[in-house]
Amino acid sequence: MADNISQDEKLKRIMNCLADSVLELSDEEILAETRGSGADPQEEAERTHSVLRQASKALEAANKHLWGLGHTVNPKYWQHGERGYHNNCRDCGLSVNFTVAGEVWGDALLGPCPQGDWYTVREHESSGG
């Protein structure tokens, strides 16, 4: 049976087992292994944390941009593409992208969502109509 599986499936299984083996290590063992490879665990943790915090901020900024214009994206459809993350407004379909560095762009940011009822209502109210 083992011979029938594809090569990429074999590779995936090996790597999955190695990934799981990492989770079974104690804190001391994983830190020792990291130090053994010449890296500083504290420094690496801070670097990764910083990158992730940037990503979180970038996502928040993108969402705020979209909300402000009445666009709505399905959060589970953020795609990690060639340049950062990509999504589309689920009402009007216009695209929006953001990078971890905080850059936000796309057609959705050019103007209010034409299908966004709430935005229209609020604009109407604010203009005194």
Partner 1 sequence: MDHTHSQLALGGLYDAYNDLLRATKNDPATHDKVKALAHYIPQRAPGDRIRAVVDNSAQNSAMIDSSIVDHMRDKSSRGNGYSANTDVVASLQALPERDVPKDEADAAKNHDAGANSEPAERDEKETAANYEAWTRLLDLMRQAESGEATNLGRALAPTIATQFQALTQGCYDAVQFSAQLGTEEVASGGAAAPAERLSVDPREQLRPTRPISVPTPSPTTINAGSKSALVIENFKSLLTVTREILKRDGYVVRSALDCTEGLRLYSLYAPFDVVIIDYCVPRRNGTAIDCFEPQTHGIELARAILEINPSQKMIFAAFAYQHEDEVPRPSELKDVPVLVSTLQLRKLLEKLQYWATREEIDQAIASLSPAQWQKLQKFAEWKVRGLGWSAGDKGKDLLQDALLSSFVGAQDNGNGRRWNKRVNFVMHLTGAMRGISSHWKDKADGREILECEAINCDAAGQELSPLDNLGPGDTPDERLRVAVAEGFQPAAERQLLAKQEVERMFRMFKNDKEAIVALQGFSEGMKKNEIMQKYELTAKQYDAATKRIRVKLLGPRNGGGGAEKHGR
Closest contact distance (angstroms) between CB of 52 and partner 1 is 5
Q: Which residues pair with 98 in a beta bridge?
A: 85, 104
Q: Which two tokens stand for residue 44?
A: 């690496």
Task: Return the residue of 61, 67, 105, 107 that touches partner 1, per CB under 8 A.
Answer: 67
Closest contact distance (angstroms) between CB of 35 and partner 1 is 10
Residue 106 lies near partner 1 (rule: CB under 8 A): no
**Which contacts qualify for 63-69: CB closer than 8 Å, 24 or more apart?**
65/96, 65/104, 65/109, 66/96, 66/108, 66/109, 69/108, 69/109, 69/111, 69/112, 69/113, 69/116, 69/119
Q: Which residues bind partner 1 (CB under 8 A)?
A: 2, 6-8, 10-19, 21-23, 25, 27-28, 30-31, 33-34, 36-37, 39, 41-42, 44-45, 48-49, 51-53, 55-56, 59, 63, 66-67, 70-72, 74-76, 78, 80-82, 85-86, 100, 116-119, 121-122
